[in-house]
Every structure is written in C-alpha cells, then in structure tokens.
Amino acid sequence: MTCNTCSKRHPTCLHEERQRQETKKEPPKEQQVSELKETQHQVTQSQDTVNETTSNRVTHESKNTQTSTIVPVYVSTQNEPSKEVLIYTLLDTQSDSSFILTEVANNLDTTKTQVKLNLSTMSSKKTTVPCTKLEALQIRGLFSKKKLTIPVVYTRDFIPANRSHIPTPDTARAWSHLEHLTEHIAPDLDCEIGLLLGYNCTQALMPREVVCGEENQPYAQRTDLGWSIISYCDSCDTGNDVIGVSHRIIVKQVIPETESPTKLKNKVHYICKTQVKEVTFPDVIKALESDFTERAVEETSISQEDVCFITRLQEGIKQKLDGHYEMPLPFKSDRPDLPNNMPSAMQRLSSLERRFKRDQRYYTDYANFMANMIACGDAEKVPEKELCNTPVWYIPHHGVYHPQKPGKIHVVFDCSAQYQDTSLNMHLLTGPDLTNTLVGVLCRFRKGSVAVMCDVERMFHQFHVTPQDQDYLRFLWWEHGDLSVPPSVFRMKVHLFGAASSPGCANFG
C-alpha cells in the first residue's frame, strides 16, 4: 500500500502531517511577543486561519497539601459589563490559549462562533470536537476593580484542574513565611473552576509580587487577579505522591471540508493467519465416512421452551373430519392479552392501497390471491357478533414475487410488526428443529431401489388453527377486492407464512 500524499508505505487514510523539529536559534523575547499578538489577531479576523494551541498541566493526587495558581475572578462581557459570573480561573503558563466551561459561556452575551478543534491528550492523540469561540470577554479579581481583556476563548466541557488544589487561608497559615498573606487569600467559594487562562492573556499571568521561602518550600505570587500559593507538600510530610496525573492538550482550529482531500481506496484486503495441521490416513477415512453416517441420537440439545412447544402441540393437536390437522398457537405462556392494534393495521392498509393505485398489475395479482385464499377456506370474514371479541390482533400484510416465478405473487403476513412495543411473534414459541438431517435422507435414499419425492402445496396452510386462537390472526381487506368500499375484518383459519411458530407446527403435524 502506497500513500497518495507522501508515497510512503502506509494507507492514505492513515497519513499524518508531522512537522520536523529543527534546532532553531531562540528569537528575542520582543519578537516572540510580537509574533504571538500577530497570530492572535489573524485568528480573530478570519476563521480560515489555522490556530494551534497547547495546554500542559501536571497534577498529583495524594494526601499532601498541594495548591496551584487558581484564583477566583468575575467574568463578564463588554456588551454587559454589569452582569458578572463568579468562577475560579487556572493560570496556566504552558498554554497559549484560554478555555472556558460551556455552561459558563452559555450565560454570557458576546460574539460566538462555532468551530471544530483537533484535541490531543495523553489518552487520545487527535480527536475532533465541536466547540464555540468567544470574543470580547473581560475578567477582574475578587478584591480588585481592574478589568483585563481576554482576546479569544474556546469552550470545553471540563477544565483539567483539581478543586482540592485551590489555595485557601489555611494554606498560608501552614507556613510561617506566608502567614501575613492569610487575609489576602480568598476563602473557599462555592463556584466551579470554569476558566483556564493561557499566555495569550499575558497581563493576567504576569507576577507583580513574589514571596519565597527556603528550598522546596511553597511560594506565593500576586497577579492583577489576586494572590495564589504554589505548594507541593505540607510542612510536616515530604513523602512521595501516590498517583501522578499528567495532562497535555494540543488544540487546533480546523475548517470542515465537504470532500476528502485524498483519494481513499474502496477495497480493503485482510490477511488472516492460518494454522496447518498434518493430516494422517485415519483422519482422511474419518472425514470421508462422516458424510454418510447417520447419527443415532441428535447432538442438538432440547431447551425448556422446546419441551413446552412439544407438550402444547401434543395436548392440542387433533385431526378434523376432512383430514387436516388442527393445532393451537404455541404461546410462550397463557394466551396473551394483546392491545388492539387496528389503527396500525389500518395505516399499513392505506399504504398498500396507494401502491395498488400506482401498480395495476400488482393489485390484480394481489386481489386474485386473496380471493383464492378466502374461497378455499383458509380465511373467513369475521361475523358481526364476534367483532367485539377480545383479545384480538390485526396482522398487516404485503405481497412479494418469486424471483424464479415471474407473475406469481405470494402474500406474506407480517407477524413481527410491533404495536406498543409488542408483536405476535414475541409471544410465540418457535419449537425445535424437526427437519430430517440431509445425511439421513441420503443414506435412506440408497437403501431402496425406488425413491419418492413430493412437494406439499401451501404447506403451512394445510394445518389449521384452533377456533379460539383465530382472532389473533385477524387482518383487514376489501370484500371482493373492491377498493371503493370500506375494508372488512377477516381472520386466518390456518397457520401463516410469517408466523414464527408455523415451521415448527407444520413439521410437527
């Protein structure tokens, strides 16, 4: 397989653009700031510009006191500066873009643009997620009136920060060199960590004042948003962390494409590993003889439902005076109390009527089949006095043509059609497989000098249904096939093509 993009040996759909990391001389800091501002300006002006952002954060889970640069802020928009939302913000110096919770963004009135991001984390290298880009947001600290503007913010469903890492006054009290900052640290507030600020908002991350201790001790820093404390462990325990969790986020704004840029192959070839086994002479003899050996006992197991099926038919089967066998419908339990699904059957009949009017040949063949079925006694019109019988079930039907017998239609009754989450087939037992094995048929074929083959016409219809179960087999049809009159209620007196129990009942009979 050769890639159509780079001509290397991998499928085109797995091609990935990777930029080579070259050692470059670090540009001056003023040039970096200038390039960053220019990039942010281009992203704001045009959605067609590709904007790649990264966010890195390492958190640790343990019983030790660990805090990070998480401070409470008020966020608002330039359109409604008086409407402020109180949230915690994470100051992330390793992220060049900012993110906000979706539920917080929904409460802000500002310019919103739907975009897609290619998001890469430790668990997923590249995942395309839809999000919203917000502009013209502003924030201020809990104890400050100075407002800072955030150029661009993207919505996310969560912010990778641990709420237990929010510094509190107790954190400052635990260290002697930070005790004087106790009143400057915000108490624990009932709000979400809803904002992550990257260095695209440099003013928010800029340290105005830093208070340091001895080596390996926490330090505090003040920004325009307030004081925060960065600590790794408490003053008593310097043990190792139990669990360390690392997050790396790479975000890329992309424009959806209507067509694939590469030509994808429409065939996939699979290579399967096969096993080779040496075949001996006894194995060959055993394989040849297995085709002509009839098993004395069937290997297939009989389930409890199959036993119930056989029991119900043995108790309910009887032979009528005309020679046909009559059997009940083998329900899984007692006769079910099904809902009256006549509205559903009427809707299917209306759809069938529209097809009749479009296809005259289909209507003629269909009407002739139904007329013959009623004339031979397989179905009958329900008497007026029995129309109110319960329970009843109406079965929709449709016609199909045999591919090898053009012009010959067969009407199939849809016993799997559901109404109010139930159908007739759901309540019927299918029974065991009573068909003779092909091996047995071939063996008996060779025993005699004459073989006899027959084909039972309309096999399922040769076995009748007991009268008390026939109301489960009602259907709607026009008397004499006249579409100009309202449809009448008919019912089948024989086992149906389409019922789950019909093959088992016919083989048993």
Q: Write out pLDDT tens, residues 75-116.
A: 998 888 888 899 999 998 888 788 898 888 888 888 888 888
Please tell me what DSSP assigns to residue 378.
S
**Residues 185 and 320 both lie in one domain:** no
Q: Are residue 228 and residue 308 in the same domain, yes or no?
A: no
Q: Is residue 57 part of a domain?
A: yes
Q: Is the dihedral of CA 344, 345, 346, 347 positive or negative?
A: positive
Residue with tokens 């390492």: 58
Q: What is the pLDDT of residue 162?
A: 83
250 and 308 belong to one structural domain = no
**Residue 3: inside a domain:** no
- pLDDT at position 487, please? 92
166 and 65 in a common domain: yes
Residue with the two structure tokens 């001509």: 7
Question: How far is Cα 465 from Cα 497, in angstroms, rounded to an integer?
Answer: 13
DSSP 95-130: -SSEEEEHHHHTT--S-EEEEEEEEB-SS-S-EEEE
Per residue in 211-245, pLDDT (tens digit) is 998 888 899 999 999 999 988 764 444 444 444 44
As for how many domains the chain has, the answer is 2
Integer CA distances (angstroms), 257 to 48, 126, 263, 314, in order: 12, 17, 14, 66
In a domain, 17, yes or no: no
**What residue ranges of the chain have pLDDT lower than 70?**
19-65, 119-125, 233-281, 283-301
Helices and strands of the chain, counted as H and E runs:
10, 20
Closest CA to 328 of 500, 456, 462, 501: 501
Claim to verify: residue 219 and residue 358 sit in the same structural domain: no
Are 465 and 492 within 8 A, CB to CB? yes
Measure the CA–CA gap between 239 and 391, rounded to whole angstroms: 74
pLDDT digits (tens, 9 = 90+) for 422-452: 899 999 998 888 777 888 888 888 888 888 8
Q: Is residue 259 part of a domain?
A: no
Distance CA 349, CA 344 (A): 9
**Ranges assigned E (strand) in 102-206:** 112-119, 127-141, 147-156, 193-197
Q: Say if CB 329 and CB 428 are below 8 A apart.
A: yes
Same structural domain, 43 and 171: yes
> 325 and 224 share a domain?
no
Structural domain includes residue 382: yes
The one-letter amino acid code at 401 reads Y
On whether the CB atoms of residues 70 and 193 are closer than 8 A, the answer is: yes
Token pair 């009887």 is found at: 318
Domain check: are 230 and 166 in the same one? Answer: yes
Give me the domain span that covers residue 486.
304-508
In this structure, the number of other CB atoms found within 10 A of the CB of residue 225 comes to 26
291 within some domain: no
- Cα angle: 80, vertex 86, 92; to 5 degrees: 105
- Does residue 286 belong to any structural domain of this protein? no
429 and 310 part of one domain:
yes
Asked if residue 181 and residue 313 are part of one domain, the reply reads no
State the first-to-last Cα distance of the chain, in angstroms, to the nearest integer.
59
Residues 191 and 333 in one domain: no
At residue 93, the pLDDT reads 85
Under DSSP, the state recorded for 303 is: P
For position 40, what pLDDT does the model report?
Answer: 53
Distance CA 101, CA 80 (A): 19
- CATH code of residue 414: 3.10.10.10
Q: For residues 227 and 315, state if they share a domain.
A: no
Domain presence at residue 262: no
E strand or H helix at 397: strand 397-402
Longest dimension (CA), the chain: 112
